Structure 1
Amino acid sequence: MTSNQLSHARMLLTLCSFCVALPGLAHAQDYPHADEPIGTVEDVYDGHLTPDLAVSTFRNIDRLFPTRTIPASQTPRDLPEAPVDLPGMVSYEVGDETYDLYDFLSLDNVAGMIVLKDGKVVYETYQRGNTPETRWMSMSVAKSVTSTLVGAAIVDGHIGGLDEMVVDYVPALDGSAYDGVSIRDILLMASGVEWNETYTDPESDRRDLLRAQIEQRPGAAMEVMAALPRAHEPGTHHTYSTGETQVLGEVVHGAVGMPLADYLAQKIWQPYGMEADANWWLDSPNGVEIGGSGLSATLRDFARFGQFFLEGGMVDGKAILPEGWTETAGQPQELTGGETIEYGYMWWPGWTEPSIADGAFAAIDIQGQNIYINPTRNVVIATHMAQPKPVGREPIDPLVVFDSIAAALD
């Protein structure tokens, strides 16, 4: 893209920040944070946000790109309350020091946290001016949502199975390094295609994909992916790649023949009873959703998504996901050749001793968004955080805190 084209694209995005989701304009005007100043998407990825600007940006990401709305359910699922004195129950060790829940909320800049035990809300807090109505950014949490839609598409018969080929659903990748890559390879980020995920490096592949998103031209993202070289044989090597989730989003879109937002609404958001509209970034006006980022939703609805997964992907006794999907998706996987990777179907297996023992896993964002699922202790924890740099600098490892919470609730 030339500098003039890039400037034009940014101007269009600035205009879009005031005009996306026009059918819901009245609703948008009621949104409590609608008039706050925000940074740019480059600021987010460069880590150039002051603390206050990070907060206001993360709860207004639908002003950064055009979005598609995921409508709320007409029959929201109740989240019964069973409050406990969680701050008085939780302590954990970091090095030689003992910390409590207040330390975590402060040091990791938590803007919201909700804890479900047996499907009931035992603790809920909002900080930095957030409320239960606040929609908050998810980056890589969206990856776990996109991968879940693959499971739904298999149950519906749109996808025959994980051994099917990516290019059968994404013709734009025919003849590229994605020839011979299966859907399972993509789920494990093991396509073998070369990728540099460094968010803060303007020359990385991740930033090339971001520039394609900024361009807002149909097909631009797949042009980036189609131009990448192969570094390994498919299925033999894991490389974390947001590009793989954009490919996976295109797979789902090609398979189901409808936007991901619409399919998510049809299969999970509305049947399971999400109480608020969500929004999902698009690669171009009226285009395809960004498979690896840009899904903004309320804290309670992210928690409901976690509860849906904890319950085995069932809605009113009906299986939305294949049998065993939720037990497999968050656990370490084996590559071709026998290597085991600490990655699931775009979920992260636990890495602490308690989480490994419990089979806990999580959807995790670079800037502090989490959906933690502990099937052994029947606990779901969702967080919204406002960490201004996308480099994993939490002073306290959230998983250590989540494990402590889950154990304290026994």
Structure 2
Amino acid sequence: MRAALIALAPALAFALATPAAAAPCGGDFASFLTQMEAEAVAAGTPPDKAAAFFQGVRQDPAVLKADRSQGVFRKTFLDFSQSLISKNRLATARAKSAELDAIFARAEAEYGVSRGVLLAFWAFETDFGQVQGDFNTRNALLTLAHDCRRPELFQPQVLAAAQLHALDEFDLNTTGAWAGEIGMVQMLPKDILERGVDGDGDGLVTLKTSQADALLSGARMLQHHGWRAGEPWLTEVTLPETFDWSLTGLETERPTEDWAALGVTPRAGTLAPGLQASILLPQGRKGPAFVVYPNYRVFFEWNKSFIYVTTAAYFATRIEGADPYAAGNPDPALALDEMMALQEKLAALGHDVGQIDGILGAGTRAAVQKEQVRLGQPADGWPTRQLLDAL
């Protein structure tokens, strides 16, 4: 039964890619539920299971509030990483690594994903399974699928959740994060349906209660998104004072040999030979510096936040034995109103910074760097008051 439902996933994705197949966002919620139920049946969910899944659904205003106020990602890298990474959390991660060694060894053998990466996500997402979220997942998904901000993301998740319900792998009282992620490593229903792993052999994929299911499913998802076995993801480095800062940032990739020739030196170990890499300065040239490899970019398939991804990638290296970063002494961060004013100025100059939200994401960093080059300032991608004043 599970294989038959999963086989329908490509057709389901194709159907939802066409506007005529998608349920209209906004409008009457009851009518929306009726149309979504019909789509679930068309996608292969048995009618009785679909009827049960959509019965009693309620919109959740708290979900929409959470979706529009993700202020935690406005923190700097140093503030964010220091708030998430503690001695206790690091010790717990290493203890879990030893306790569940067989599971992590299997994850690496079958999917190529290093244990530090899985432990970092497990720690940050749910504090090793202890805090999995208390939003009703079904209500959250349908609230977001009905909302007009991102229906193309959440409507397929609703249909996947209905299919998981038909497989007895999604209880209607399931709770999780406000955005519909479920379980110890917080995966969306479509990922669970298509890439869930029955790690404990009980015939079900249950990410809320089974450590083996959760960790192996997370590893399989990362592999699906391009994780490269045996390769690093991030290494802390030092840069010469004469370094060309305009070469930093995710938009510039060069072989590690080229970076070494320019004076890029790892604080410990060596740069991975033969790999394309970028130089990352989360808080500019006066803060920590990292070389990031192709695997680093796979982290964005789990979370789109630059600050979260960089912190998770760094924490994964700490779990596996790396030293604490050299914090340096970065220039002060802009206040929220200053960041939003900067984004408005950058957008007016034609840069794509996304939403004017005060969050220093990858798009804003790239725009900052281009303007720093144009104005003859150190082009390290870190917004300063000097740049704001100059614009």
TM-score by length of 1: 0.26
TM-score by length of 2: 0.27
More strand by share: 1
Highest RCO, 1 vs 2 (Cα 8 Å, sep ≥ 6): 1
More helix by share: 2
Higher Cα Rg, which structure: 2
